[in-house]
A and B are shown apart, each in its own frame.
Chain A
């Protein structure tokens, strides 16, 4: 079955760190760019970060640049998001999303169910 499964969310204090993972199955993971997209409670969708299929190119929204790092391990079919210096405004459900191309086409044809990150003291 083609699917994405996120993990690693939880409650963290402001200024803290968290690493999200996304396990992919059912497709050739290394052939596709991947993104993280988040959704704050009751709000719309916000693209956060993307990485090419090879991992050689990465992209970040201005709101997370310098604080978040996207990476992937194609041998493990897993996408990661290292989140540092977390702020209350980073509270959201974080979705892992698959791009149709190896380099980003920038729309998303498969999404995971998401993992909730809550930044609060």
Chain B
């Protein structure tokens, strides 16, 4: 199965700053990559699919890029509600697999 590796494990960012999260696949997943946000005690929420398409209702400050094995989620100006754990997921190969997550915390 494809192993998804996210970095860093924890990212400390001040409100208003840019956050850049990375996700690497152990083999090419084309553009079949999704990003999710999860807050404590809550369900994950789909942010991005197809590596760069924002899901319905997701603010424009969230953007995704990349293809093949290297992907990036960028939050252009962090808001208080953006501090959470972010997961990437590949759906190019079965079984689908998730990364270990990046926790974005307040600096």
Contacts and interface: CB of A to CB of B under 8 A. Distances in A.
B98 A61 contact: no
A113 B45 CA distance: 10
B95 A44 contact: no
A114 B43 contact: yes
Interface in B63-92: 87, 89, 91
B34 A111 contact: no
Q: How large is the interface on B (under 10, 10 to 19, 20 to 34, 35 or more residues)?
A: 20 to 34
A59 interface: yes
Contacts of B56: 109
A45 B42 contact: no
Which 5 residue pairs of A and B lie closest in terms of their CB atoms, listed nearest first?
Answer: A106-B91, A111-B43, A107-B34, A45-B98, A44-B100
Interface string A44-68: 1111000000000001011000000
Contacts, number: 50
Contacts of A59: 94
Interface string B35-76: 010000011111001000001100000000000000000000
A47 B98 contact: yes
A32 interface: no
Contacts of A108: 34, 36, 44, 46
Contacts of B97: 47
A116 to B, nearest CB: 11
Contact residue range for chain A?
Answer: 10 to 19
A68 to B, nearest CB: 14
27 contacts: A44-B101, A45-B36, A45-B44, A45-B89, A45-B98, A47-B95, A47-B96, A47-B97, A47-B98, A59-B94, A62-B95, A100-B49, A106-B32, A106-B91, A107-B34, A107-B49, A108-B34, A108-B36, A109-B46, A109-B55, A109-B56, A110-B46, A111-B45, A111-B46, A112-B43, A113-B42, A113-B43
A46 B91 CA distance: 13
Contacts of A62: 95
Contacts of B94: 59, 106
A107 B98 contact: no
B98 A111 contact: no
